[in-house]
Amino acid sequence: MAPEFVQAAAGFAALLGLIALRCPVGLAMLLVGAGGYLWIVDLPVLLNYLKTTPWHLFANYTLSVIPLFILMGAVAERGGLARDLFAAANALIGHKPGGMAMSVIGACAAFGAVCGSSVATTATFGRAALPELRRYGYDPGLSTGTVAVGGTLGILIPPSVILVVYAISTEQNIAKLFMAALLPGLLAALLYILAIALLARRRPDLMPAAARVTGAERARAFRNVIPVLLIALVVVGGIYGGVFTPTESAAIGCIATLAVGLLRGSLDLRGALDALLATAETTAMIFVILLGAEVFNAFLALTSAPELLALWISEQGFAPFAVLGLLLLAYVVLGAVMDELAMILLTLPIFFPVVTALDFGLASSEEAAIWFGILVLVVVGIGLTAPPIGLNVFVVSSLARDVPIARTYRGVLPFLAMDLLRLGLCVAFPALSLWLVRLLA
């Protein structure tokens, strides 16, 4: 084996060992990357690199979009916008068998347009929807499973923090990635609703119909969601229309959600401060992982292993879609046992050069990069609910401690089948991801 691959393999083994010992992922990547850098070069070069890298990384204007989107979601959560979305969706279809579960999916999809975090979306609707689902006699495992998969729409529907990180890591256009994610994200919501409808037809006892609301109650519920729908329209539509940059759109969304919460009286000073604190904590965690990934990727670049691997695969004449299938399978496996952000930052230096070196019959390498980003987003969503880890499952289980986690995993199985179907469609038909980009870009 070439010494470059030996060095890279040793680095990955050390990294996985530290993660297994419960070392924080960002710190583990930072330590292994610095150690590997020192292994290949000398200490003065490493210190010079560490002296300049954090500044150049965190002074990047594009990174400011991450805390802004996180803050927008935190303010929207504490301002009660998620409860309003669920109430409106429930008023529309809650009286049908499985209607309340469908309402959770629809509300999560709408909330995803103002919150780019899956964990925040899951926690928000766990608090807003689970009590109502229980009150109407929904199966506990199905209820928690629905909330868990609905939470993945927080990253599948633009704006998405995961897509921002992917764009920065691969030097792609954030707005184009947001455009590409819209149709696959809406397809996810539709397939989840279809899964609920099919299950309700077979097992109506698992999801009884709720009481039909009056016309006046329905009208009031719809009036309450007008502000959040307008915010979503301005944030996402402004990006798609080229009116705002993603950073400007996120800033406008923050101001709008704060104003709506304060004017309606659903957000007080304590709630605003809690939102700021939660944003600071989440942003700090993401930035530590970004720094660790930057140093670890610099070590991999010194080994030249990613470029050599991409060159070797391209020379073997493997079918491009077969290679892509193996990469996506690796993502599904890793996503079931690793944090999604760390998984992306850990694998992109290896996988991305491989994908861009293959010919998928697309118009440009940029289209291939955007399409691959959406496929990564889809498999990340699968990893958020798939056993044995499934971060969203653990989040919702912390809110419903009386529901065994095994029941929640059983509850997400119908949705996982739909996820695999959606992944297959996105692989077979790249136009699902690229049509809107070609139309608007």
pLDDT given at position 286 = 84
146/166 Cα distance (integer angstroms):
27
224/230 Cα distance (integer angstroms):
11
Residue type (1 letter), 420? L
Residue type (1 letter), 164? V
Please name which of 126, 146, 122 lies closest in space to residue 391, comparing C-alpha atoms.
122
80/320 Cα distance (integer angstroms):
47
Domain ranges of the chain: 60-440
Report pLDDT digits (tens) over 396-429: 888 888 888 888 889 899 999 999 999 999 999 9
Residue 171 DSSP symbol: T
Query: How much is the CA Rg of the chain, to the nearest whole Å?
Result: 22
Q: What is the pTM of this model?
A: 0.86
Residue 404 DSSP symbol: -
Report pLDDT digits (tens) over 153-209: 888 888 888 888 898 888 888 889 999 999 999 999 999 999 999 998 888 888 887
pLDDT > 90: what percent of the chain? Answer: 15
pLDDT given at position 1 = 53
Peptide bond into 227 cis (omega under 30): no
Average of per-residue pLDDT values in the chain: 84
Q: Is the pLDDT of residue 104 over 70?
A: yes
Q: Report whether 108 contacts 193 (CB < 8 A).
A: no
C-alpha distance from residue 48 to each of 44, 169, 294, 397 (Å): 6, 22, 15, 46
Residue 212 DSSP symbol: P
